[in-house]
Amino acid sequence: MNKHGFRKPLIAIGTAAALLLSAVPALAQQIATPPSDQLEAQHEQERNHWGGDHHFGKNGEEHKARKLKHLQEAAGYFGISTEGKSAEQLIKELKAARDADPAKWEKFKAEMKAKRLAKLQEKAAALGIKTEGKSAKQLREEICKKHGQDKPNTDVTPLPGAKAKS
């Protein structure tokens, strides 16, 4: 056979291989992806295991209230009325105030940062942690370590299907 006689079969084999390889990932994805109702059930189970929004109180109400309080504090700083306004409305007006007076916004951020640092220093001092020359990040880390040593979390239940430690 001459060298041109191999071209047609090679092209046919190459095309068939390309088609076959392109079908494999699509088939694998269909097999690997569980149905959406199964995924939803798994997510619901995980939410129940971890207590849903336990970090933010009952259904996130405490978190929403705290966020609204912070927004109202910022609005007060900029002289924005807060009566009867939702969080979304306050955010919109605060963004406008930020854009109108960037210097005042930076001053507000600096004051809030100083306020947070002061609170962290109070917590750290109450836990017996030295605060001099430490950043907010360092204080948070040390407070977390201190809490971790004082109160180990022993009431954690494993996820269903997970192996329990012996």
Number of domains composing the chain: 2
Residue 124, pLDDT > 80, answer yes
| Residue 69 and residue 93 share a domain | yes
pLDDT of residue 4: 63
Sign of the torsion angle spanned by Cα atoms 73, 79, 85, 88: negative
Q: Is 72 exposed, middle or buried (0-12, 13-18, 19+ CB in 10 A)?
A: middle
For residues 15-22, average pLDDT: 74
Residue 27 domain-assigned?
no
| Residue 135 and residue 111 share a domain | yes
Residue 85 domain-assigned?
yes
Q: Which residue has the higher pLDDT, 51 or 20?
A: 20
| Residue 108 and residue 146 share a domain | yes
Least Cα distance to 41 among 162, 160, 157, 163 occurs for 160
Residue 137 domain-assigned?
yes
- Two structure tokens written together for 46: 């995980």
Give 68-110 pLDDT, tens digit per residue: 999 999 999 999 999 999 999 999 999 999 999 999 999 999 9
- Which residue range forms the structural domain that includes residue 74? 52-100
Sign of the torsion angle spanned by Cα atoms 117, 118, 123, 124: positive
For residues 113-119, average pLDDT: 92
Of 36-45, 80-89, 106-115, 134-143, least confident by mean pLDDT is: 36-45
